[in-house]
């Protein structure tokens, strides 16, 4: 301002003074002493801890936060630095400016942290000083690891997941949901049983939390019981073992269902033959002849439960001979459908007879003449269902188509690796389910589950798929295959997954 008006200004200069101790020239401060002399006269780190002992669990790589809290942290991580700083006493007497690790050998059982602190001394002068704190690591197993090491079978709460069906497709999907949400992180052991999975926990609250998670992702009901293990009559202490039995609805995706008359009436005379199109925390049902649909939550289903008339293992492959559209494409529950009249014939009838079926299907937007489709052969099926007998005068259709078939294209890709992988839980296999036949059945069902993921984008929406680093696309295969089978787009895959040694021990990857 003064320069703009042409006025003369005096530049203010700060004079230097001599230090009262060593006599060197310095800028004046409240103590009239240089920084070196201040440090020699006053030690602001006096009374602060420089040696601390911390407890570390070598099994789960966690540290003890007194009195009983265990915190997981990796070496030289932000979590470990925060833990070390919080363990220091009297640090509130100074102002912490900076904290960083000093590298030490991992086997030295020492962690060194360099701290830079500030404090006001001698008439308002602020002194900054750095010092090193050495943390000595003492190995001590936490309660959970101690219990596991003493007796791996010593559990407090067990969750028994069961689904009374002839396949494990639901548990393959449930396994991916558990991994994505890390719902089994507290489990001390997981065992694969004949019709389900057993989860063992060291704390009842962990089991209760897991049961609540299952109820949010699949329609289920549970009951619990407890057994007295020991008690101390003097201190009035009781030790129990808790068991939670969780039953998952036997209705699965793509199943054909005959609704009971009461349920059909409550849903506005829906059906009675419907197809289950989706299973999450509710069950989505669709009438393939009228495109009417409904959603049942767990409470509504278990109030009047029902079973499937035919499961997806009984699907028969058909060839589409002709398709005539009946209605335009509509969106129901996030999926597209269109009614159409189609002429189909069984693949197995080729060369034997000329049987042709005229059917109404909800797949009019997908099917074209020459395509293949999977459906239920009610013409040759001897249905013995008590609910179906209650509908007097009801005429069963010959065929109900469920989905488009890509079996011919899958044959071309048989034996070729996929560009993606799935993680899997580290489960022990029960002795009753071991054997070559059972292993072949599991592999076949798992391969079918992987195909379902590739065909149905809605099914893989809630699970995590990882890139397969070993996959190398073949240019010749892409040219010869032409119209290839459904696959997972690369943009849906997670980035390269670097597994640490601990994660490799807990989880494995499956193609």
Opening angle at CA 308, ends 307 and 310, nearest 5: 155
pLDDT in tens, the chain (511 residues): 555 666 667 666 677 888 877 878 877 777 777 777 877 777 788 888 899 999 999 888 899 998 888 888 888 889 999 999 999 988 888 888 999 999 998 888 999 999 999 888 776 677 888 899 999 999 998 887 776 676 656 788 999 999 998 888 899 999 999 998 988 888 888 888 888 899 999 889 999 999 999 999 999 999 999 998 888 888 888 888 999 999 999 999 889 999 998 988 988 888 789 999 999 889 999 999 999 999 998 899 999 888 888 888 889 999 999 999 888 888 887 788 999 999 999 988 887 888 889 999 998 888 889 889 999 998 888 777 788 888 887 888 889 999 888 877 766 676 677 778 888 888 888 777 677 777 888 888 888 888 888 888 888 888 888 887 777 766 555 444 445 567 777 776 775 444 444 444 445 556 5
pLDDT of residue 505: 44
What is the predicted pLDDT for the residue at 388?
83
Distant-in-sequence contacts of 212-216, Cβ < 8 A, 24+ apart = 213/178, 213/181, 213/183, 214/159, 214/161, 214/174, 214/246, 214/248, 215/281, 215/298, 216/281
Q: What is the pLDDT of residue 487?
A: 74
Closest by CA to 477, choosing from 422, 405, 420, 414, is: 414
Structure tokens at 21: 């101790």
DSSP state of 494: B
Number of H helices, E strands in the chain: 13, 29
- For the chain, which residues make up each domain, given as ranges? 37-143, 154-248+414-470, 255-404
Q: What is the pLDDT of residue 482?
A: 42
Give pLDDT, residue 474.
61
* Whole-number pLDDT of residue 208: 94
Burial of 361 (0-12, 13-18, 19+ CB in 10 A): buried
Burial classification of residue 75, based on how many CB atoms lie within 10 Å of its CB (0-12 exposed, 13-18 middle, 19 or more buried): exposed
* Strands 125-139 vs 110-121: parallel, antiparallel or unpaired: antiparallel
Give me the pLDDT at residue 506, please. 46
In the block, residue with structure tokens 């069984």: 346
Encoded tokens for 84: 């070390």
Q: In sequence order, which residues have a C-beta less than 8 Å from that of residue 258 and are 6 or more positions away?
A: 271, 272, 273, 306, 309, 385, 387, 388
Helix (H, G, I), strand (E, B) or coil at 32: coil
Could you give phi then psi for residue 90, rounded to 5 degrees? 60, 15
Q: Are 460 and 172 in contact (CB under 8 A)?
A: no
Distance (Å) of CA 93 to CA 36, 39, 120, 127, 315: 22, 17, 10, 13, 75
- For residue 314, how far is the Cα from the chain centroid? 31
């Amino acid at each position: 301002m003064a320069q703009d008006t042409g006025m003369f200004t005096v530049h203010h200069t700060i004079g230097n003074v001599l230090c009262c101790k060593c006599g060197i020239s310095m800028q004046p401060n409240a103590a009239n002493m240089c920084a070196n002399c201040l440090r020699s006269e006053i030690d602001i780190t006096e009374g602060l801890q420089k040696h601390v002992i911390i407890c570390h669990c070598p099994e789960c790589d966690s540290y003890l936060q007194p009195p009983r809290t265990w915190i997981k942290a990796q070496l030289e991580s932000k979590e470990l630095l925060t833990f070390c700083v919080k363990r220091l006493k009297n640090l509130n007497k100074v102002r912490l400016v900076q904290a960083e690790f000093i590298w030490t050998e991992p086997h030295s059982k020492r962690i060194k942290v360099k701290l830079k602190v500030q404090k006001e001394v001698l008439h308002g002068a602020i002194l900054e000083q750095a010092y090193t704190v050495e943390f000595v690591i003492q190995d001590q197993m936490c309660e959970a690891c101690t219990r596991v090491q003493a007796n791996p079978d010593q559990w407090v709460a067990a969750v028994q997941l069961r689904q009374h069906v002839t396949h494990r497709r639901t548990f393959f999907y449930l396994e991916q949901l558990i991994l994505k949400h890390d719902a089994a992180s507290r489990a001390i052991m997981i065992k694969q049983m004949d019709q389900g999975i057993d989860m063992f926990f060291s704390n009842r609250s962990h089991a209760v939390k897991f049961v609540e998670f299952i109820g949010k992702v699949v329609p289920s009901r549970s009951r619990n019981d407890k057994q007295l293990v020991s008690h101390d009559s003097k201190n009035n202490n009781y030790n129990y073992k808790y068991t939670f039995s969780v039953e998952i609805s036997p209705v699965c995706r793509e199943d054909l269902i005959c609704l009971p008359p009461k349920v059909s009436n409550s849903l506005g005379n829906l059906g009675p033959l419907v197809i289950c199109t989706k299973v999450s925390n509710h069950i989505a049902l669709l009438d393939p002849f009228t495109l009417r649909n409904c959603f049942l939550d767990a409470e509504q289903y278990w109030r009047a439960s029902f079973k499937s008339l035919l499961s997806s293992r009984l699907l028969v492959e058909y060839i589409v001979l002709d398709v005539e559209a009946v209605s335009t494409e509509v969106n129901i529950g996030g999926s597209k459908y269109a009614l159409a009249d189609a002429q189909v014939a069984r693949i197995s009838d080729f060369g034997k007879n000329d049987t042709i079926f005229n059917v109404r299907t909800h797949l009019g937007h997908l099917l074209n003449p020459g395509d293949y489709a999977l459906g239920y052969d009610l013409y040759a099926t001897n249905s013995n269902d008590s609910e179906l007998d209650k509908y007097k005068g009801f005429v069963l259709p010959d065929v109900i188509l469920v989905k488009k078939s890509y079996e011919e294209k899958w044959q071309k890709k048989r034996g070729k690796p996929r560009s993606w992988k799935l993680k899997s839980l580290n489960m022990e296999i029960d002795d009753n389910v071991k054997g070559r036949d059972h292993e072949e059945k599991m592999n076949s069902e798992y391969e079918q589950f992987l195909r379902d993921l590739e065909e149905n984008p809605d099914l893989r929406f809630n699970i995590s798929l990882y890139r397969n680093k070993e996959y190398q696309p073949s240019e010749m295969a892409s040219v010869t295959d032409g119209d290839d089978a459904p696959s997972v787009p690369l943009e849906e895959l997670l980035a390269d997954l670097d597994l640490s040694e601990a994660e490799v021990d807990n989880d494995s990857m499956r193609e």
